[in-house]
Structure 1
């Protein structure tokens, strides 16, 4: 008699969990939908940025999607402060979501019957011109979030006639679409970042961004200029420079920085070494592909070959090699 060995079973795929600002239908969910590796895995809705990042640190989630910057309102301070104070995190990707708003009501509602509108204060401000033209006699009821404004209509807890919400809300709840594209700035966009526990940066693509948080050594004339020179003298462009109070004393600030390039680029690595010598605290948040995939251009004098040649030249001087006259 012969027996056949049982066929080896392929290991079950490991399910991953991603935290995002919920509930379903938010802009953050729309950003997470852009992540190919997140599709088909578990998405965990949370109530705020702190909870999302705590999920990552404590191991409840493999990564979290958080909003970091808005083209109209600037940096998201809660996210920037959290990244500055919560250790063990690394940005592994960025994603852009157009900021579009819709006006929704209960099923059967009509726009000419709207007088009281629920909206998050930021969303309300970004739609105020449209509202003033279309519904000049309306009143505003503040909501805790863009989705919460609409959920009050769904569960009956809101007295409002309509709500300003993200378009994605219509995919999850039965609401009447009263108006689309009501935002005053058609070019508004929110930048999101995917945050994991500390991992090695992905390889450079040529279209990368490096995020840092840097503190000045002390408060003296030219201190900020000295920090910025670490980038300028190496041909590195900054796409974001924002100050946030450290909180231990008046006048003490940390700087949130996005620099064009990757930590494996010679010029970026050299700049980080300069920052490390200059600053008492440098937090490396990550090097990752740009959402717009725009290739980073720089003058030839800042190419990797130039930095490598300069290092080799110095090494030769130290070792006593004969200097070749060109």
Structure 2
């Protein structure tokens, strides 16, 4: 608990209640420690808190290595103005099976779980509890809370490991997820601010629309990055919603807006696309340094612009 007066503390919104994967992501943010954490019910509420000034930033899930992009988060970022991604954080998707105090694993026949969590633990459940039945829960936390407050008839619940810090439940099994490599990517979103200085291990996120539906339109958009040596780590389509066949594209590109190659690519994209939403340039969670051929270095872009200026000023071309 912080000794800092509440009036001077920052507020962070996150998908609650306590014990969620989102809370685990927020716990990775050094500047959030000792500040006010505001649990909310959904992504839209978290981002509205930021836009309307109730919170300084919000932590939201944006991508899962098993299920792909989180469509609700992508759509909210596309339609709510005044937001900027300022950091990303990775949380391993681990699950535990918990019960009421005194419950034994062999006594479990009815399991409460959020449908997504249940699907990611189905192999383990089938092998360990072949005769079990499933009760859908609203969230990973709600599945466990129902055991304690008596609102659930389940014998056990699938939850995130953090639940053990918040509820008096019996740990029946851990590491029950079918994919040991599963991870969820979270982003910290604030109101619009200037990007931080580049670190060499950065990511740029944006959303772009195609100008019209014609053969090669998507290729033309992707060429804005490919011809400048920029790798895309995410390309996801989401319906715009105003007509069938109209899509916007969610893009994560390796590099920073202050990199000459990225700035040049964004200028090209802006000329091509009727709508580009810059979501932010921020340090990568894995701290991996971005590698690229020498022909795409900042010096090459600067030299090319200097060469053009020289031609325009009447200098001889050498």
**Normalising by the residue count of structure 1, what TM-score does the alignment of the two structures yield?**
0.95
Secondary structure of the 1:250 match is: coil
Question: C-alpha displacement at 1:103, in angstroms?
Answer: 0.2
Secondary structure of the 1:283 match is: strand
Partner of 1:305: 299
1:104 aligns with 2:98: yes
Deviations for 1:55-101, whole angstroms, at most 9, x for unmatched residues?
00000000000000000000000000000000000000000000000
Aligned residues: 315
Distance 1:224 1:177, change over 3 A: same
Distance of 1:34 and 1:273 partners within structure 2: 34
Distance of 1:13 and 1:115 partners within structure 2: 49
What is the RMSD of the two structures over their aligned residues, measured on CA atoms? 1.2
Partner of 1:209: 203
Distance of 1:154 and 1:310 partners within structure 2: 67
Deviations for 1:114-148, whole angstroms, at most 9, x for unmatched residues?
01100000000000000000000000000111111
1:158 aligns with 2:152: yes
Partner of 1:41: 35
2:244 to 241, 250, 260: 250
Distance of 2:7 and 2:314 partners within structure 1: 57
Question: C-alpha displacement at 1:11, in angstroms?
Answer: 10
Distance of 1:207 and 1:13 partners within structure 2: 35
Question: C-alpha displacement at 1:322, in angstroms?
Answer: 2.0
Gaps of 5+ in 1: 1-9
Distance of 1:201 and 1:28 partners within structure 2: 23
1:146 aligns with 2:158: no
Question: C-alpha displacement at 1:321, in angstroms?
Answer: 1.3
Structure 1 moving runs of 4+ over 4 Å = 10-13
Question: C-alpha displacement at 1:298, in angstroms?
Answer: 0.3
Question: C-alpha displacement at 1:154, in angstroms?
Answer: 1.3
Question: C-alpha displacement at 1:12, in angstroms?
Answer: 9.4
1:51 aligns with 2:60: no
Distance of 1:12 and 1:243 partners within structure 2: 42
Distance of 2:151 and 2:31 partners within structure 1: 37
Secondary structure of the 2:287 match is: coil
1:78 to 59, 72, 80: 72
Distance of 1:187 and 1:103 partners within structure 2: 18
1:176 aligns with 2:170: yes
Partner of 1:26: 20
Distance of 2:66 and 2:232 partners within structure 1: 19
Secondary structure of the 1:202 match is: coil
Distance of 1:174 and 1:240 partners within structure 2: 40
Secondary structure of the 1:148 match is: helix
